[in-house]
Chain A
Amino acid sequence: MPKIKKGLILIAVVIVATAFVYYGYFVKVIQNWRDGDDDDDRSFATTTAPESFVEVRKVSAEVTYMATEDKQDTLRFVVSLDENNVITHLTTLDAKTGEVPEKKKNFTEKASAMIVGKKLSELSGIDNVAKSSYTTNAFNSAIDRLKAQL
């Protein structure tokens, strides 16, 4: 199964959410136009909602990705929208349990810090690459014996 980059997943979620924002705004503009409201100063974007109505609905999307080389995870991204269809909250849930996975508890706060990476071949002026050591001979020789134990 081809790997799905999480960066792309996040971008997709943002695009979907943005589409909702524009869709909601468009519907309201149409309604406003049909109502023939003469009050030209009325603006949805600046309407202040009561606090209890700040979060009015949620949309979600489920995605499957390769968390590690041999482990697949399925997540549900839940986007909360306020009355103006502005994103107020983003939550990541385990699609099976519906709970926030332990290792993803900080995802909401750090969604903007998700890395995408860049191809080494696209970088210029690089003197060296910091990387984890290659598998040693000792590990290689142990693999068959390990497989027999597992």
Chain B
Amino acid sequence: MEAFEGHETFFVTYDSTRTRRLERKYLLRNIGTNPLVMAQAFLSTLRILLREKPKLIVSTGSEIAIPAFYLAKLLRIKTIFIESWTRVDRPTATGKLVYPVSDVFLVQWERLLSKYGKKAKYEGAIL
């Protein structure tokens, strides 16, 4: 969160014991591979983005980033995707899906760069 100091922020994340404690948040149902829940997530995310009108969306996934990043493209909101630290060699399905619509696309292992296009960058990892 330190990277966002001085900026107004809100969260869109999955509902869980941990996330319920966040301050400014929208909690969605875990999407997984369920297409129906994904469709619901598109509608909820659209409502949230129209209400909050963020200038930037930053996400580390997972599936919850898919509706947000595609809708952001339509609404001209900038996006930064950070591939999971746990991914050394294998891209995530979400990463591959949001790669084309991301303004900035970061990976946390240099080796993973070869699995993505030119836009992908390595700028260090969380630890």
Report whether chain A binds chain B.
no
